A = this chain, B = another copy of it.
Amino acid sequence: MLERISIPNVMQETSRKFILKAKKIGFVPTMGALHNGHISLVERAKNENDITVVSIFVNPLQFGQDEDFDKYPRVLEKDLEMLESVGTNILFVPQVKHMYPEGFLTTVKVRELSDKLCGAFRKGHFEGVTTVVCKLINIVKPTRIYFGQKDYQQMLIVKQMVNDLNIDVEVVSCRTIRESDGLAMSSRNVYLNHAERKSATILYKTLKHIESLILQDKISCRDVSKIMYKMLSDEPLVKEIQYADIYDVKTLERLDEFKDENLLAIALKIGDTRLIDNLIVERKK
């Protein structure tokens, strides 16, 4: 039976009791509008812990002023069914006024990593993410917290915060779940109309194409970005390529030479919808 908690102090008190009983808590923070990507995280959390907690909170702090906070999909009833069907124990659905009461003044920031890639286009976004994730961890007190690799930069920044602040939680990174045509699952995919949805496959196609060129030694590191931009801009509905390049998997610096592990990452707009995707390419030594 899925228990639903909305008050932060009640959630914290509940978790405190689990911890006294030595229960392991697996935690999946989400913004709702759940898809199979989220569900795969919940299933993994269930497998690895005694109690599974999912949060749904559309965090205003991580949206820019001209971003889609207001229209972000909110489908709580459908989310509840999905969570119940996979045996989630607790759904934590706090209200904005309880997460950010009047007079809220604190920010958690991970420097450098937060200003690169998506951070360069979404000012303050990752500060909003680290601040809310820090709060959620303190409330839910998880043993393990689960993030999808689709938001690679987010996962990396949360790991850095957890290490830097000695937060007593294991950050688990899970592979990206894709539609049958390769599009990475995302709550924002519902924004796409039929034509846009078809054209959105270009992100993964480009990543896989570059991967195969790299693995076959048919491309130099310095040409990666150029060829990615070419493929992406040949797709008529792609409106704005924010970045498409190869990066260091730890520092997110642009690479001039291949390493053993390489991050290919893309952010672009199709219509008004911003899409991101990435792939880790491992070169054999």
Query: Smallest Cβ distance from A128 to chain B, in angstroms?
Result: 13
Q: Is A253 an interface residue (CB 8 A)?
A: no
Mark contacts of A1-34 with chain B using CB atoms, 8 A cut-off: 1 yes-contact digit, 0 otherwise: 0000000100010001001101000000000000
Q: How far is the CB of A125 from chain B (nearest CB, A)?
A: 16
A111 to B107, CA, bound (A): 8
Query: Do A138 and B108 have beta carbons less than 8 Å apart?
Result: no
Contact of A134 among B8, B105, B165, B168 (CB under 8 A): B165
- CA distance in complex: A16, B104 (Å): 30
A84 to chain B minimum Cβ distance, whole angstroms, is 26
- Partner of A108 from the list B106, B112, B141 (CB cut-off 8 Å) is B106
Is residue A129 contacting chain B, with contact meaning CB distance below 8 A?
Answer: no
A175 within 8 A of B: no
A234 to B136, CA, bound (A): 52
Q: A160: which B residues are within 8 A, CB to CB? A: 105-106
* A20 partner residues in chain B, CB cutoff 8 A: 19-20, 22
